[in-house]
Amino acid sequence: MSDLKQWEPENDTFWQQEGNRIATRNLWISIPSLLCGFAVWMMWSIISVQMLNLGFPYSASELFTLAAIAGLSGATLRIPASFFVRLCGGRYTIFLTTSLLMIPAFGTGIALQDPNTPLWVFQLMALLSGIGGGNFAASMSNISFFYPKKKQGLALGMNAGLGNFGVTSMQILIPLFMTFGAFTLVGGGDPMVLQKASGTLIGSIPAGSETWVQNAGFLWLLLLVPLAFAIWFGMNNIHTEEVTPKLPSAVGSFSIILAMYGIGLATSVLGLWLILPASANGSGFSIPKELVLVLVPLATVMALKFLPGAIRTSLERQYRIFNNKHTWVMSVLYVMTFGSFIGFAAALPLSIQVIFGYSHIMVDGVMTHNTPNPNGPSALTYAWIAPFIGALIRPVGGWISDRLGGALVTQVCAVVMVIAALGAAYFMQQAYQSATPEQYFMPFFLLFLLLFAASGIGNASTFKTIAVVFPKEQAGPVLGWTSAVAAYGAFYIPQVFGEQIKAATPEYAMVGFAVFYALCLVLNWFYYLRKSGEFYNP
């Protein structure tokens, strides 16, 4: 496709004559690309459950680290990805970052064929799966440049919301594809036998059944290969001063992207090594994860500044967003919405399995949590519904925010999330002390559906506020940066759940999140909902 050397979406005549058509085409190719990114990024939340059901030789806490590793690398890679469009062009960026997903998809399929595969191999594949998480920042930044401000709420809500369906699609398709030998004719491996009951969205699968767990990786190649062609022949670079002023060749762009992603992966590996215990191939230093979550993005931002020439000059210009206090305020608010969505999506399946899939009974005066519960709900049957609702409602959140104002919608979402988190904490506490935890599952699950719905609407409303607060040139990088910070929820929330479940107090995690949501409520009111605030919105 030709590079667009004139792009004036705020010009109504230009928009009606050709802008709307071009923007729509780019949006509808961007959406499935982002969907696959989310699917590959978050697939470890389902794979880890099935590895537990198959008796892979890893503890539940070690399996929680796989989703956490993908979460941390995906969040960190969003930092360089925030600046790709201005440096490399949207078409080149989306093509390469989507094509790179074939590596963890294929590698994971190979690794899962052998239960004796070392843990570090799965950790490496989880690390590379983070490329899918990084794609979000580039995708949102790219689409923001195609649309006028008055239509950005809906456009970004569509891109992010339908892209977020990658989580739901993954949670539906992976369990279904694992029930049959979809790839045996092309060397897709032999089935394994379930040691514990599993399930799909249509019901449970008893222990003793055959499963093709390797299909969890292979199936994404069916989408990624044709998508690479669609992106290359259907999308555009916007070669203008405001978007990509100095567009390199395709090879030059790819080199820049790979170099910057290499920095993000290196800082992710360092951070993970500091956090993880020695048993999970970490340092065993027990460095607080909160400290590492500050050091990793800081190290990434600083390391990127050492890149030479025009890259460094462009980054220094874009780094001006860090001098604006609203960059940091919006980062906190987006952690509340998207950070919760992606973090709970990563942690919910295994949490359901551990909390409700076992009976919690007293043995010799000690509460135990390792007796299988024959009446427990299947995590793979229910877990997909929550992110499905969160993603489905996100475009609605964008539409409402275009009409009522982003800050007002964010405020309502914050109130709902405080209430839902506290309610979920109560039922988690009751379930984890009960021999029949299934009796508490439905109220727990309904509260999580409410939590996901509020986070989905809030995802769109915070982006609407960003479009109001920041000038066009800064809005794209700010969208990418805030999404990067928020994506650390995909690392932090599974880690917190894993730690609190190990400590037999899973409810503490939800109480802590509720306190954070209350803080966000105050911040949003002070900066954007007070009539005397600098950016009163609405």
268 CB burial (10 A radius; 0-12, 13-18, 19+): buried
Q: What is the pLDDT of residue 1?
A: 54
The rounded distance, in Å, linking the Cα atoms of 105 and 108 is 5
Look up residue 190 and give its DSSP letter.
-
The rounded distance, in Å, linking the Cα atoms of 43 and 359 is 27
Q: Residue 87 corresponds to which tokens in the numbers above? A: 């440096």
Which pairs count as long-range contacts for 299-304, CB under 8 Å and 24+ apart, including other chains? 299/267, 299/270, 299/271, 300/76, 300/79, 300/80, 300/263, 300/264, 300/267, 301/79, 303/263, 303/266, 303/267, 304/79, 304/80, 304/83, 304/260, 304/263
Query: Which residues touch 96 (CB under 8 Å, ≥6 apart)?
Result: 253, 254, 257, 258
Quick check: helix, strand or coil at residue 198? Answer: strand
State the CB neighbour count (10 A cutoff) for residue 217. Answer: 26
Cα-Cα-Cα-Cα dihedral of 136, 142, 148, 151, to 10°?
Answer: -30
Q: What is the pLDDT of residue 63?
A: 84
The rounded distance, in Å, linking the Cα atoms of 160 and 459 is 8
395 contacts 162 by C-beta, under 8 angstroms: yes
Tell me how far CA of residue 496 lies from CA of 60, 346, 384, 447, 467, in angstroms.
13, 12, 21, 19, 32
Q: Residue 239 corresponds to which tokens in the numbers above? A: 């070669």
The rounded distance, in Å, linking the Cα atoms of 269 and 267 is 5
State the CB neighbour count (10 A cutoff) for residue 366. Answer: 7
Q: Does the global pTM surpass 0.75? A: yes
Query: Which residues touch 28 (CB under 8 Å, ≥6 apart)?
Result: none
The rounded distance, in Å, linking the Cα atoms of 420 and 418 is 6
Q: What is the pLDDT of residue 468?
A: 83
Q: What is the pLDDT of residue 537?
A: 64
Amino acid code (one letter) for 310: A
56 contacts 75 by C-beta, under 8 angstroms: no
Tell me how far CA of residue 192 lies from CA of 59, 184, 264, 273, 337, in angstroms.
19, 13, 36, 32, 38
The rounded distance, in Å, linking the Cα atoms of 530 and 511 is 27
User: 213 pairs with which residues across the strands?
Assistant: none
Three-state SS string over 105-138 comes to: HHHHHHHCCCCCCCHHHHHHHHHHHHHHHHHHHH
The region, left, alpha or beta by phi > 0 then psi within -120 to 50, assigned to residue 189 is left
CA angle 345, 29, 472 (to 5 degrees): 85
Give the helix/strand (H/E) hosting 149.
helix 149-177
The rounded distance, in Å, linking the Cα atoms of 110 and 188 is 8
CATH topology of domain 8-72+89-248: Growth Hormone; Chain: A; (1.20.1250)
The rounded distance, in Å, linking the Cα atoms of 123 and 114 is 15
Quick check: helix, strand or coil at residue 148? Answer: coil
CATH 1.20.1250.20 domain residues, the chain = 8-72+89-248, 320-537
353 contacts 49 by C-beta, under 8 angstroms: yes
- Is 320-537 in CATH node 1.20.1250.20? yes
- CA 104, 32, 216, 46 torsion-angle sign: positive
End-to-end alpha-carbon separation of the chain, Å?
39
64 contacts 497 by C-beta, under 8 angstroms: yes
Look up residue 205 and give its DSSP letter.
E
Q: What is the pLDDT of residue 77?
A: 94
Look up residue 4 and give its DSSP letter.
B
In the chain (538 residues long), the average pLDDT of successive 10-residue segments reads: 87 93 95 95 91 88 84 91 90 97 96 94 96 90 88 80 85 91 82 88 86 95 96 95 90 95 96 89 87 91 85 78 90 92 87 90 86 87 89 83 87 96 96 94 96 91 84 76 85 84 87 96 92 72
424 contacts 444 by C-beta, under 8 angstroms: yes
Quick check: helix, strand or coil at residue 204? Answer: strand
Three-state SS string over 336-390 comes to: HHHHHHHHHHHHHHHHHHHHHCEEEEEECCEEEEEEECCCCCCHHHHCCHHHHHH
